[in-house]
Structure formats: structure tokens, C-alpha cells
Amino acid sequence: MVLLSIAMNIKHIAIIYNPKSTGDSTAASQQLYHDVREHLPHTGVELMPTKYRGHAADLTEILGQTRTGVVVVSVGGDGTYNEVINGAMRVAPSRRPVLVPFAAGNANDHSRELLGDAKVMSQLIAGDTQVIDLLRLSVHNPTGDDVLLHAHSYIGFGASGRVARLLDERNFGPISEKLIALGEILSPSEFSAVVNGHSKKLYSIVCSNVSVMGKYLKVSHQADLSDGHFEVVETEAHSRLELLKEVSQTATGQPAATKRVQSYSMMLMDGVQAQLDGEPISLSKASTVFVTVEREAIRTLAGE
């Protein structure tokens, strides 16, 4: 992955975290706050715990509209960072904060592709940034509200969307989460969609901007955050055994059968659960779905 690094003058660092999330986001946020105070004494820094769903998006939007030279560090999992990037995308490109994922939750696929857990402080000191792409989900719903959202890592329809919905309903431990995912694999529900003029019955569709999804599932060797493409994995509803085989292969590091595209569209013939970076959303029957790349959408700190 080749990314252009550009140095910035960091004036303010906002540490956004969900104090109710799984993992140690509160402790990690407080430690980062003290590290910034020690190593960057002339840079403003504040802790910003979230208080409701969507609060991280609102905070990021306000920071972008009211301040310059801002870095937003999202401490937690993929869900918190998903809110942060959607908040940033509400702001004009020239005013978007630099966004940094700091993994301290149940999963953070995007952080694995960028800095990793231990490098955030050193990269804040260096101040080098890079521009990366996002995934853009646009849905036209003929009977309800249209949808326009972004994802930093992946968008899933079907099986992964249903798992995300179940996990969102309450806080499960890691063992329970694995059992829920296994239950979906063993008893999947299919849905119908028209893709490129062809009617298909599917268990799952995943559009991914990263190489590994959910800690263990290998999506692609080619995934790149800045090449204007993403990978699509379609699991057609042939047999449960085939689905189990595919998941087993990706869990052991063998990439799924993917196609590399710049856009993907379909019309849903059934209602379907979807998810963006693990955040669930319901899509209605007869909705037209478009997934595209939002080129050079945000800046983040440059990895080594």
C-alpha cells in the first residue's frame, strides 16, 4: 500500500470514546490523554466520552466546523470509528479533521490496516498524515427514507447484517458472540436480489476495503485503502455446507473468492439486514443499493 505522507501542524487533539463499550476504551483514552499532555505540552487535548448513539458523529462534525488543525482519535472498536468518519463526512472536505483509529474495543479492522495499537502516540508526535478512501453506501428506498452512509472497512448484506443486529441488541461476551455467528452460519437465511441484471439468491454479500474482517476472516490479499477499488464477496444460496467451507477457509487465512470493483449495485427483492463496520441497518424490499468508493475522503496519521 503506497500512501503519500504530508506533515501537519496539530493544534488540538480530541479523544472520542464510548465509556460503555467492550474493552478498555476509558482507561486507554485516559492514558493517551496523559501521554499527549507529557509529550505535546503545547497542543490542546480533551477527553470526549460519548453519551448516546451517534454522539461520536455529532462531536466530530462540530469539531470540523469550529476548529482547524484538529486530530480526532477514536478510541474503541469499529463502531465508534464508523460514527466518527460519518460525522467527518458531513463537513466540507477542507475542514474535515484528521481521523485516527485507536483499537481498544471488541474489534478494529481499520486500525490493523493503519497504525496498530502501539503507534498512535509516536505518530501524533510526527504529525505525518495520509489520504485514504472510504466506502459509500447509497440506498434509494421507494417507500421510505433514502440512505447515505459511509464505512471505513466493510459493508455487509445478509448473514453479517443479521449477526450485527443481534449483537447490537445487547452486550455479549466474546464466547456468546462466536456462538451467535456460528448459529447464523449453520442456519442462514437467504435473500433475493437483482445484480447486474441477473436474479440471485444469496446468503451474504460483503464489500470490503480491508484485508481482514472481524479479526479472523481473510477477505483479500489485494485490499488497499487508497487505490479506488474494493473487494466483493458474494455467497450464493447453494448449500449450507458450501457456506461453512467458505467461512472456514477465510478463518484460516485463505482469502475468499472475490471480485475487485469500483462500484457495486443491486435491487433488493426482499428486505435485508445490512451492516457498516458492524453497525446494523435494515433495508427495505425494492430498495436500490449502490456501493461506491469515496476517493481520498479523509486524512489519517501515516503509518511507518
Q: What's residue 2's pLDDT?
A: 40
- Distance of alpha carbon 36 from alpha carbon 41, whole angstroms: 7
Asked if 224 and 145 sit in the same domain, the reply is yes
Cα separations in angstroms, 187 against 27, 167, 182: 39, 17, 9
Asked if 201 and 267 sit in the same domain, the reply is yes
Q: Tell me how many domains the chain contains.
A: 2
14 within domain boundaries: yes
Asked if 117 and 15 sit in the same domain, the reply is yes
Confidence of residue 239 (pLDDT cuts 50, 70, 90): low
Confidence of residue 259 (pLDDT cuts 50, 70, 90): confident
Asked if 109 and 92 sit in the same domain, the reply is yes
Asked if 290 and 165 sit in the same domain, the reply is yes
Q: What's residue 292's pLDDT?
A: 98
Task: Please give the average per-residue pLDDT across 62-76, as a whole number.
Answer: 96
- Distance of alpha carbon 304 from alpha carbon 296, whole angstroms: 19
Percent of the chain with pLDDT over 70: 72
- The answer, yes or no, to whether residue 144 has pLDDT greater than 50, is yes
Task: Please give the average per-residue pLDDT across 130-159, as a whole number.
Answer: 93
- Assign residue 122 the CATH number of its domain: 3.40.50.10330
Asked if 72 and 174 sit in the same domain, the reply is no
- The answer, yes or no, to whether residue 120 has pLDDT greater than 70, is yes
Report pLDDT digits (tens) over 78-116.
Answer: 889 999 999 999 999 999 999 999 987 555 544 545 444
- Distance of alpha carbon 123 from alpha carbon 16, whole angstroms: 17
Confidence of residue 218 (pLDDT cuts 50, 70, 90): very low
Q: Which residue range(s) make up the domain with 24? A: 5-132
Residue scoring higher pLDDT (87 or 172): 87
Report pLDDT digits (tens) over 15-51.
Answer: 999 998 877 889 999 999 999 999 999 999 999 999 9
Mean pLDDT, the chain, rounded, equals 81
Q: What's residue 208's pLDDT?
A: 87
Closest residue by Cα to residue 65 from 97, 99, 98: 97
**Taking the model in full, what pTM does it have?**
0.83
Q: ∠ CA 51-116-66 to the nearest 5 degrees?
A: 45
Asked if 14 and 58 sit in the same domain, the reply is yes
131, exposed or middle or buried, with CB in 10 Å at 0-12, 13-18, 19+? middle
Asked if 143 and 88 sit in the same domain, the reply is no
**Element holding 292 (H helix, E strand):** strand 288-301
Looking up cell 440471485, which residue turns up?
A: 200
